[in-house]
Structure 1
Amino acid sequence: MEYGSQEEDDWRIQNFEARHHHHQHQQPKKTMPFIKLPSFNGDNDPNIYLGWETKVEQMFNVYEVKEDQKIELASLEFEDYVMRWWHQLVMEIGLNKRLTMVSWNDFKLCMRAQFVPPHYRNELLLKLQRLHQGPRSMDEYFKDLEVTLIKINMHESEESKIVRFVSGLRREIQNVVELYEYTSLKKLVHLAVKVESQLLRKTSFKHTHNDGFYNSSWKDKNKFHNQDIPSNSSKESTPQTSKENSSPSRTKSPTKTSNKKCFKYLGFGHITTNCPNKRTMMVKGVIVVSDHSD
């Protein structure tokens, strides 16, 4: 039999299955807890696997599952591609082609190597490096920081988390927080939330009074002031009107067309020869022009 041939692999598989079957008969049956875990089908999105892993760990903690039962319970919920991939992996472990997974952490490392690509971790590290609060609330910022650390599987010390959290705060909050002493991340987050609430109240109070009370009072004051003091146009128009009304009987000065004057009857607009006060009569065929006097 040649080393590494197909016959040798078949012999190893048969030997493994026989030993595994004999091992199962020798050991007493395990009492597995009845837990309905979420299924996993090997989706290409790393977030789906990380969410599945987090949910499974949470259920293990709630039901107090033993360490040697976690891998078997989790693998029972594999579907489609993951089920076939896992079966092949178990066979390779039996053939000593892979290291045996003895703990839940070994299982998670193996699963992350398969379903979480390396570039995803690099992207998360860059996001963590540039993570800032920005316009978000304190609660949203802190949750984003915590979730990113969990996804990277980065176990930072309490001091490192505190430094990272403070460096990402908005400047006005950071300036106040740095004046206080804090011994834990939990107390620091509580302090930052209080500072944020105070700043929001001050900003809201300032906008409310500046835009509402003071502006309306100033506008009302100007409104009453303008009603009490007449405008310049009314000042100018009032004297003119009064002047016109005060002298309605004033004789208008002669216009340019009425400069002519009759010196006999003292009329305007004509001369003596054209005076309309003359009376014309016809006496025995002779035209007689006589002056008319009232």
Structure 2
Amino acid sequence: MKVEQFFACHKVSEERKDPLATFSFQGHTMYWWTALDTERHLHNDPPIQYWNGFRSALRRRHIPTYYGRELLKKLQRLQQKDMTVEQYRQQIELYMMRVCIKEEEATTVARFLSGLNLEIRDQVELLPYRDLNDLVQLCVRVEQQMLRKSSS
């Protein structure tokens, strides 16, 4: 992600992304990249020239095949527990981005509601809201109200 931000900021062309990314490789990563390049050459495969191919090779090497399934399980089991409403929302969004889930907003709202703490969920289910942002704002207000009551 950070590398892609760097590329976007400096308007790096597709042809230059691969050499720039490999320039900072050291140690084991450099050996892996050299071996991959040599192996592709031996099998008469074209060299990796573009960022998408490079990123795919990195993912195949460094991200286990079960990674996506584990993230999906974490997302499905996610509960607010001791997180604030905002932290809980950020966690859901992070997992959804990492798993690349694009779902209807109603499904995301249902997912969000099902993991909320019961005290907050019971109160906000009775209130009207248009979308996830409205729901989160209601939850934050209910959470603040609960904190005020418990401190007094």
* TM-score class normalised by the smaller sequence: 0.7 to 0.9
Q: 1 or 2, which has the higher strand percentage? A: 1
Tell me which of 170, 175, 187 is aligned to 2:122. Answer: 175
Equivalent-residue separation in structure 2 for 1:97 and 1:155 (angstroms): 36
Q: Which residue in 1 is equivalent to 2:74?
A: 127
Question: Is 1:72 the equivalent of 2:19?
Answer: yes
Tell me which of 143, 152, 155 is aligned to 2:90. Answer: 143
Q: Which residue in 2 is equivalent to 1:83?
A: 30
Q: Deviation of residue 99 (structure 1)?
A: 6.3
Q: Which residue in 1 is equivalent to 2:3?
A: 56
Q: Secondary structure at the match of 1:156?
A: coil
Q: Deviation of residue 69 (structure 1)?
A: 2.7
Runs of 4+ aligned structure 1 residues displaced above 4 Å come to: 95-103
Q: Aligned in 2, Cα 1:149/1:69: closer, same or farther, shift over 3 Å? A: farther
Q: 1 or 2, which has the higher helix percentage? A: 2
Equivalent-residue separation in structure 2 for 1:158 and 1:59 (angstroms): 32
TM-score scaled by length of structure 2: 0.77
- Segments of structure 2 that go 5 or more residues without pairing to the other structure are none
Q: Which residue in 1 is equivalent to 2:141?
A: 194
Q: Which residue in 2 is equivalent to 1:155?
A: 101
Equivalent-residue separation in structure 2 for 1:102 and 1:190 (angstroms): 46
Equivalent-residue separation in structure 2 for 1:60 and 1:67 (angstroms): 9
Aligned residues: 150
- The structure having more radius of gyration, on CA atoms, is 1
Aligned AA (2:57): C
Aligned AA (1:85): W
TM-score scaled by length of structure 1: 0.44
Equivalent-residue separation in structure 2 for 1:95 and 1:114 (angstroms): 19
Equivalent-residue separation in structure 1 for 2:53 and 2:143 (angstroms): 42
Equivalent-residue separation in structure 2 for 1:75 and 1:108 (angstroms): 11
> Quick one: percent identity of the two aligned structures?
39
Equivalent-residue separation in structure 2 for 1:97 and 1:65 (angstroms): 28
Q: How well do the aligned residues superpose, as a CA RMSD in angstroms?
A: 2.6
Q: Secondary structure at the match of 1:118?
A: coil
Q: Deviation of residue 115 (structure 1)?
A: 0.7
Equivalent-residue separation in structure 2 for 1:202 and 1:98 (angstroms): 67
Equivalent-residue separation in structure 1 for 2:70 and 2:34 (angstroms): 31
Q: Deviation of residue 145 (structure 1)?
A: 2.2
